Amino acid sequence: MAELLRLLLSVAEKAANVARVCRQEAPLFELLVQEKTGADKNKKFIQDFKTLADVVIQEMIRHDVCAQFPELTGFIHGEESNKFENGLGESVTVTVCAQEEDTTALLAKVLDGDRAAASLLSKAIHQDLQLRDETAESLQLSISPADVGIWIDPIDGTSQYIEGKEEEEPDEGFCPSGLPCALVLIGVYLRATGQPVMGVINQPFNHKISAGKG
């Protein structure tokens, strides 16, 4: 289980990077702004960009974990559907491909041909990121990964993520609203009982960023 926890720490940080890229890079940030203001919505899709950000994170975590722990295939769940309808009325299932260029092509299809935005997302998805944590590596649990399932909340606090307020003053160390409230949540539970075993919480925006200046 220590190896699984170490992997979850790494994929949670990758997920945080995806969330940050969506706010920092101009082609992606503009889509978020359109969702926020409601202006110039792109028929079917732009209004659901926030959901795509969630789904990209969800499917990236699923892909990376199953690649290392195939026994978890079919037991990694999230709250978002990975099916989208683009501006041409085509139904596209969002997945993470083996190659970055293939993921870019798929995302470009969802994004009505916006390859700049698709490429930025794909690059963040396929980055090679491995975190080391002594506490995680020393974890001892007499549980096999084959006995657990995983639940993902890709961006908890999506409305705060979209609204994007950064100048929120902490209240006794906690921010009641704004970007710091957006969290990547990954929970591990026993398949047999649903009992929680362990989890990872990542706070992508624990400090101010320069949003929209890609």
pLDDT per residue as tens digits for the range 106-145:
999 888 888 998 999 999 999 988 888 887 778 888 899 9
pLDDT tens column, 63-104: 999 999 999 999 999 988 888 777 777 888 989 999 999 999
Is 75 part of any domain?
yes
Is 178 part of any domain?
yes
Residue 72: CB atoms within 10 A of its CB come to 19
Is 208 part of any domain?
no
Residue 131: CB atoms within 10 A of its CB come to 14
- Which whole number is the average pLDDT over 150-176? 77
| pLDDT value of position 112 | 82
Is 210 part of any domain?
no
Q: What CATH code is carried by the domain that includes residue 153?
A: 3.30.540.10
> What is the distance, to the nearest Å, from the Cα of residue 177 to the centroid of all Cα atoms in its chain?
20
Is 15 part of any domain?
yes
**Top-ranked range on mean pLDDT: pick from 108-117, 160-169, 195-204:** 195-204
The yes-or-no verdict on residue 157 having pLDDT over 70 is yes
Is 100 part of any domain?
yes
The yes-or-no verdict on residue 46 having pLDDT over 60 is no
C-alpha to C-alpha distance for 46 and 78, rounded to whole angstroms: 22
Measured on CA atoms in the order 77, 78, 79, 84, is the torsion positive or negative? negative
Share of the chain above pLDDT 70, in %: 83
Nearest to 60 by CA among 6, 23, 110, 107: 107
In which band, very low, low, confident or very high, does the pLDDT at 47 lie, cut at 50, 70 and 90? very low
Ramachandran angles phi, psi of 87, nearest 5°: -65, -15
| pLDDT value of position 137 | 77
Q: What range defines the domain where residue 95 resides? A: 2-202
pLDDT tens column, 83-94: 877 777 788 898
**Top-ranked range on mean pLDDT: pick from 9-18, 110-119, 132-141, 203-212:** 9-18
Is 211 part of any domain?
no
pTM of the model: 0.83
Domain count of the fold of the chain: 1
Is 139 part of any domain?
yes
* DSSP letter assigned to residue 174: B
